[in-house]
Amino acid sequence: MSKVLKLKCVKCGREYDPSEILYTCFDCGIAGILDVVLDYEAIRKEMTPEYFRQNSNYSLWRYLPAIPIDDPRGIQPLQVGWTPLYETAKFARETGLKQLLIKDDSRNPTASLKDRASAVGVAKALELERKVVCAASTGNAASSLSGFAASAGIETYIFVPETAPEAKVTQLLIYGSHVFLVEGTYDQAVELCFAAAAEFGWYNRSCAINPYLVEGKKTVSYEICEQLGWRAPDVAVVAVGDGCTIAGVWKGFKECYQLGLIDRLPRIIGVQAALSNPVTRAFASQSDEFEYRKPETIADSISVGIPRNGIKALNAVRESGGMMVDVTDAEILAAMKLLAERTGIFGEPAGVTSFAGILKLNQLGIFSGGERVASIVSGSGLKDIKSAAQAAGRPAVVAPDIDAVKRIVRG
């Protein structure tokens, strides 16, 4: 028996049997993203407190009863998830929060939260007996897919904008993917990838449309709750590009609640870059339509003109009573430096955007004080050294001579 009861269109509500559809709603087309509806009654019986006490698997597969994979043979050995959740008392004091938590998801095999989605996506591809997988990506989804496909022996075709940071492109190549650097934006890479998937019959791992990827991303919330002794924070803050991550985060918390693992839900706050903010604009105008503007931000992972999972993102924010907030590139870079030099956690620009959002919300006086706030660092700073260098400054150059060092140290 499959754990999936049905797939439900987030736009029109039409329901599908999981065996009859792969990606998006037949009526709504590309805007009709599907939501996976699981058999929570059955899962609840399996995922008891006893189940967790006895479970020595500290990875996202700890939550396998709630992950829609029927054939576990496609699960790769790469260690994903159960990333550290740090409490940063210093920042909490300065911002008047009761608790400031940082979930460091840069600590995954290919160094981003996307590994949660790829682990599930590749297991699904193998379950469906697909030997070729493709993805459009700003960089991390692709580098992550490439790593998991390498482990599984699957062939991959990748479409990334030519502006993708060099480290991410190098990851693709070292894992052996076929890489297309698209002379255009991420939005154009998406179009091209979807056309190629249709042309060649490849399995499309683009998070934007593949309903199973959110099922991997949601495990970050299960972990946060379990690491807090099965309780949710008051607020969870998430960077938003396509909106798949924030949708996954919200689904994870909702499921923990539905399964009786936690007794209240957090508010979800989405953070976008100021010049790449279609979701913030739609939220502000209470609309479900996204108006295209050419995105411009140093945070390449969230540089998205039209969010492919925007409706799910808006639902997460609205249903939870949360909000959207924007941060500038300067604020992102300042947050990157601050987080690194005060905690030792080094995130890429999009990776620290949620933390930048917390600093911004604090400035705006949004917190009443006393909240427990969790932020997710979604990608490693080593993935984009060029941006990090802008935040980091330059080192001193010295002659190999102790007197030169003395002059600098003593000023």
**Residues contributing to the site for ligand PLP (CB under 6 A):** 112, 114, 140, 207, 239-246, 301-302, 348, 350-351, 378-379
**End-to-end CA separation in angstroms for the chain:** 72
- The C-alpha atoms of residue 205 and residue 222 are separated, in whole angstroms, by 23
- The C-alpha atoms of residue 387 and residue 295 are separated, in whole angstroms, by 17
Per rule CB under 5 A, is residue 14 in the interface with Zn ion?
yes
In the bound state with Zn ion, the residue whose beta carbon lies nearer, of 32 and 322, is 32
Distances (CA, A) of 71 to 17, 128, 401: 18, 10, 63
Per rule CB under 5 A, is residue 66 in the interface with Zn ion?
no
Among 11, 178, 281, 337, binds Zn ion (CB under 5 A): 11
Instruction: Report residue 217 as tokens.
Output: 């991303």
Q: Which of these, 75, 74, 64, lies nearest to 38 by C-alpha position?
A: 64
How many Cα atoms within 13 Å fall on the side-chain side of residue 350? 32
> Is 140 a known ligand-binding residue?
yes
In the bound state with Zn ion, the residue whose beta carbon lies nearer, of 14 and 254, is 14
Instruction: Report residue 108 as tokens.
Output: 């995954």
**DSSP string covering 250-289:** HHHHHHHHHTTS-SSPPEEEEEEETTB-HHHHHHHTT-S-
In the bound state with ligand PLP, the residue whose beta carbon lies nearer, of 212 and 261, is 212
Residue 155, burial from CB neighbour count under 10 angstroms (0-12, 13-18, 19+): middle
Phi, psi for 131 (deg, rounded to 5):
-105, -10
Per rule CB under 5 A, is residue 6 in the interface with Zn ion?
no
Number of residues that bind Zn ion (CB under 5 A): 8
Kindly state the smallest distance separating residue 35's Cβ from Zn ion, in Å. 11
**Which of the residues 27 through 46 are near Zn ion (CB under 5 A)?**
27-28, 32
Among 7, 22, 25, 265, binds Zn ion (CB under 5 A): 25
Q: With CB cut-offs between 5 and 8 Å by kind, which of ligand PLP, Zn ion, none does residue 28 bind?
A: Zn ion
Contact segment (CB under 5 A) with Zn ion among 3-11, 37-45, 86-94, 344-352 equals 3-11
Kindly state the smallest distance separating residue 321's Cβ from ligand PLP, in Å. 20
Q: With CB cut-offs between 5 and 8 Å by kind, which of Zn ion, ligand PLP, none does residue 177 bind?
A: none
Q: Give Cβ neighbours of residue 303 (< 8 Å, ≥ 6 apart).
A: 138, 185, 186, 241, 273, 276, 295, 296, 297
In the bound state with ligand PLP, the residue whose beta carbon lies nearer, of 223 and 348, is 348
In the bound state with ligand PLP, the residue whose beta carbon lies nearer, of 59 and 245, is 245
Kindly state the smallest distance separating residue 10's Cβ from Zn ion, in Å. 8
In the bound state with Zn ion, the residue whose beta carbon lies nearer, of 25 and 220, is 25
Show the CA angle centred on residue 338, arms to residues 337 and 340, nearest 5°.
Answer: 65
The annotated binding site for pyridoxal 5'-phosphate is made up of 140
The annotated binding site is made up of 140
